[in-house]
Amino acid sequence: MATTSSFSKGCFVFKANPHKSGRSPRKKTKKSAIVDTHDDLNASSLFAKSDKSSMEIRLDSYKKIWSATKKKSEEIISNSHKQLLHDVKTFVSENACTGQSSIPTALISLGVNLPDHAAFFSLLDTTLKTNVSPFVAMLNSKECPSLKNMVLKTIQKITSCDSIDDELENDEEDDEDDEIVPIKPRSKVKTFANLATWYSNVVMKTPLIIILQDLESFGTQQLQDFVLLCRENRVRNKLPIQFIMGIATTVALQQQLHHRTSVCLATKSFQSRPSVVLLNHLIEQLFMKSSVLKLGPRLMQLLLDGFLYHDLSLNSFMMRVHLIIMQHYITLPVSSLCCSVSELKNRIKQLRAADLDLYRQLPSFMKFIENNRSKISLLTDDKEFRLFLQKSLEALNTYSKNFSLSCRIIHSLSDGMPDALFGKSLREVYVNLLIGGESEDWEQFIRLLNVSSAHELRTRIEAALTTLKECDSSGSLSDFSTSLVLFSEELLRLEESKKSDAVTSPKSQNVFVPQGKKLDKFELKALMATAKQVRTTSEFDEVKSEIITWLNSELASRLKSPSTLVFHEIFYAGSQVQSNWDIVPWIRRQVQPVPRVAISKALSNPASYLGCSCCSLTGQETQVLSSMPDLCIVYKLHTECGRLINLYDWMLSFNAIQKKDNEDDNEEIEPIIQARFIRAVAQLQLLGFIQSSKRKTDHVARLTWGV
């Protein structure tokens, strides 16, 4: 609060300097910005508790973890675009020399998550520039409000590519890093005719590629004109123009590409992978592999809700992850031990006695002590506690490794079962098990395994074995895999023996049925009962029950929710902790901002933002105090009115509140009061609460009802 002079609550954007390379300065400003806004909430008291050194350690590990996460996520995202990039590149180079009159056009449907497209297009831009042609003009609708700008931008971008190539012609240096290249007003090349003469002088006759990033947002008429122009020039001036158009959905395409336009284009459509698939991949790679910080069930749910229900955007997903990682390290003093196992021992050594007490306050530890009264000495003996801490944190680490492996096993075991037990994808399985409370699914799972055939069971176990082999490099679950191998061998043996049985003794099954004799109902029933008995005692069923008991004991123990473990708060962000360490409500407020609630809270209870003692309410929300800002008083008065508000009555009550204190019976309204009232009403209108009414001139209409 002290760092900014505004009393409004908000987001402060500190624009990073684009000239400085690297992300570190930007990150720092962002961090400090967040710390600033966060300062006034609840962190300051916490920072006072933890000393400087721990803060540094936490900052250090935060930086390490975030840069690793960021690098990994960027890698995953760019890898996912590889195929599409390759396809587009081949399309462009294939059509490079065809002399057809229609313009070769690649329509790339990228899904509705518009903010994510930028990453793809910048990749595409560099790929095309290095592999196909340096003449790439990337346009988005924001920089092209009219056809004139569009043509100018295109030509300028294409020619500026060239001027970088041969430095002789070029006097002024273009800032290539900057997205928006400033328009050179006196540039020689201004029209397509000029471009054609320019192109005839260019040595490399590579295609001119025009990328329209967001086809939907361009004006229809403008787009049509642009396409007609390009086509005219392709035909008349022999400019090898090609289009690449990014579209979010094909729904509006018919409207956007009018017939006159589409006859000029020879289109081919490409499609990116659905972003949900990418998200699954991202979660598998980021949180199911050996990452240090994991997400607790509540935060995971929050992130998934944000993604699936609101934006489908990986960009904002990663931003939220960033926020969580940062907040975890800032808020939790115990997060100084949230590091890789190799560093753990050293860090525990460095902890001071005061720090240890923080760890003792963790709810999971307190619960542990309550259940194990014999270990009560841990509360007093620092040395013993240090050892215990190390042991349990290491155990926690192996646990989480095994947990994600077990998730994979469960996924491959339950794959293709009806009702999609535990979830269809690996991500769903992981999240469901992380949240816990899937006992119904587990029972159903066991039940389904019970009724499955030997062959089915074997294929499932073998699938689990292959996933285990793929993922378990460290061999931490080797005993697990050996028993799985044993089971599958057993099943295979059974199956083969059964096959041979079926060949050799087809009649053996009919041994109970006397040949050629009709059975009556009771006999048949008895026969079936005996048959059933025989079946239950078959060798296969023994193996099956063995498998199931084994699964119940081994796998289920590995799949218990992390919240049952001691010190899980350190590694699982957003676990249930003391209220002042709990980051979930804070994160929720940042991720799902509710501006309306914030405004009405500020107006009905200004003390919560101003922090002054004069306007603090003593109970009811509706109380109006004369010490409050005028805007608040006007707002509170207006909430008591109906749809139409008489301005004069409103002003009288405003006057009455102002006069309440000095007991003045004078009916006259002072000009200063009137002016203050008018200003407050104007402010209220600006905030969108009221609107001037056409029906009655001296009335205003109220626009909001309730919160």
Partner 1 sequence: MEINSRKENLKAEIPHREQQIEILVDIIQSNALPPFLYVYGHTSTGKSLVVQRVIESVERVQYAAIHCIECLSPRFLYESVLEQLGSQERCDNANDFARYLKQLSDTRPICIVLDKAERMRDLSDGMIIPTLTKIPEFTGLNICIVLISEIPFEKFRCGTGSLDPIQIFFPQYSKEEILDLLMKECPQPEHSSLYQTYLSMILGVFLVACRDFCELRYIAAQHWEAFMEPIHSGEIDKTQSVKLWRHLEPKLRSSLNQVYVRGPDACGTQIGLKMELPFFSKFLIIAAYLASYNPARYDRRLFVKAKEGRKNKDKGLKSLKKQKLHNAARLMGPKVFPIDRLMAIFYSIVEERVTPSLNIFVQISTLVSLKLITHTGSAAMFQGVPKYRCNAGYDLVRSLARTVNFELGRYLYDTTV
Helical pair 192-201 and 220-236, crossing angle rounded to 10 deg:
40
Number of residues that make up the chain: 707
Counting contacts by CB under 8 A, is residue 192 touching partner 1?
yes
Closer residue to partner 1 (CB): 269 or 557: 269
Q: How far is the CB of 192 from partner 1 (least distance, A)?
A: 7
* Residue 655, both tokens: 């006057």
Counting contacts by CB under 8 A, is residue 116 touching partner 1?
no
* Only segment of 47-55, 158-166, 187-195, 380-388 that touches partner 1 (CB under 8 A): 187-195
Q: Residue 701 pairs with which residues in a beta bridge? A: 644, 691
Counting contacts by CB under 8 A, is residue 13 touching partner 1?
no
Counting contacts by CB under 8 A, is residue 682 touching partner 1?
no
Spell 10-19 as b/e; 16+ CB within 10 A means b: eeeeeeeeee
Closer residue to partner 1 (CB): 452 or 704: 704
Indicate the SS3 state at residue 68: helix
Restricting to residues 568-607, name those near partner 1 by CB under 8 A: 592-596
* Residue 143, both tokens: 């920089």
CA distances from 344 to 204, 391, 394, 475 (A): 59, 10, 8, 22
Among 112, 376, 395, 656, binds partner 1 (CB under 8 A): 112
Counting contacts by CB under 8 A, is residue 10 touching partner 1?
no
Q: How far is the CB of 196 from partner 1 (least distance, A)?
A: 12
- The number of residues that bind partner 1 (CB under 8 A) is 56
Among 114, 209, 295, 477, binds partner 1 (CB under 8 A): 114
Closer residue to partner 1 (CB): 333 or 423: 423
Angle at 544 between CA 541 and CA 546, to 5 degrees: 110
Binding letters toward partner 1, positions 221-240, x by CB under 8 A: ----x--xx--x--------
Q: What's the distance, Cα to Cα, between the start and end of the chain in Å?
A: 27
CA distances from 329 to 224, 298, 323 (A): 53, 17, 10
Q: What DSSP string describes 435-470?
A: H---HHHHHHHHHHHHHS-HHHHHHHHHHHHHHHHH
Closer residue to partner 1 (CB): 193 or 527: 193
Cα–Cα distance for residue pair 284/191, rounded to 1 Å: 51
Indicate the SS3 state at residue 121: helix
Q: Residue 106 pairs with which residues in a beta bridge? A: 244, 268
The shares of helix, strand and coil residues in the chain, as percent rounded to the nearest 5, are: 65, 5, 30
Counting contacts by CB under 8 A, is residue 263 touching partner 1?
yes
Closer residue to partner 1 (CB): 243 or 287: 243
Full strand arrangement of the beta sheet holding 241-247: 136-139, 208-212, 241-247, 103-109, 265-271
* Only segment of 55-63, 82-90, 249-257, 523-531 that touches partner 1 (CB under 8 A): 249-257
Among 187, 366, 686, 698, binds partner 1 (CB under 8 A): 686
Q: Residue 700 pairs with which residues in a beta bridge? A: 645, 692
Q: How far is the CB of 700 from partner 1 (least distance, A)?
A: 12
Closer residue to partner 1 (CB): 510 or 691: 691
Counting contacts by CB under 8 A, is residue 449 touching partner 1?
no
Q: Residue 139 pairs with which residues in a beta bridge? A: 212
CA distances from 383 to 44, 662, 683 (A): 31, 68, 63
* Only segment of 244-252, 374-382, 393-401, 483-491 that touches partner 1 (CB under 8 A): 244-252
Closer residue to partner 1 (CB): 266 or 610: 266
Closer residue to partner 1 (CB): 212 or 253: 253
Counting contacts by CB under 8 A, is residue 163 touching partner 1?
no
CB 685 within 8 A of CB 642: no
Among 20, 416, 688, 698, binds partner 1 (CB under 8 A): 688
C-alpha closest to that of 477 among 487, 461, 465: 465
Binding letters toward partner 1, positions 481-510, x by CB under 8 A: ------------------------------
Counting contacts by CB under 8 A, is residue 651 touching partner 1?
no
Binding letters toward partner 1, positions 301-320, x by CB under 8 A: -----xxxxxxx--------
Closer residue to partner 1 (CB): 262 or 576: 262
Contacts 24+ apart (CB under 8 A), 344-349: 344/390, 344/393, 344/394, 345/390, 347/57, 348/386, 348/389, 348/390, 349/386
Restricting to residues 48-107, name those near partner 1 by CB under 8 A: 107
Among 63, 72, 268, 659, binds partner 1 (CB under 8 A): 268
Q: How far is the CB of 544 from partner 1 (least distance, A)?
A: 37
Counting contacts by CB under 8 A, is residue 151 touching partner 1?
yes
* Residue in the structure block whose two tokens are 């402010």: 683
* Residue in the structure block whose two tokens are 């090349």: 189
Q: Residue 243 pairs with which residues in a beta bridge? A: 105, 210
Closer residue to partner 1 (CB): 214 or 490: 214
CA distances from 176 to 17, 115, 151, 406, 666 (A): 15, 21, 19, 49, 70
Among 37, 42, 170, 271, binds partner 1 (CB under 8 A): 271
* Only segment of 83-91, 146-154, 333-341, 633-641 that touches partner 1 (CB under 8 A): 146-154
Cα–Cα distance for residue pair 94/104, rounded to 1 Å: 10
Q: How far is the CB of 64 from partner 1 (least distance, A)?
A: 31
Q: Could you list the residues that contact partner 1 (CB under 8 A)?
A: 107, 109, 111-112, 114, 146-148, 151, 191-193, 214, 216-217, 225, 228-229, 232, 248-256, 259, 262-263, 265, 267-269, 271, 274-276, 306-312, 592-596, 685-686, 688, 691, 703
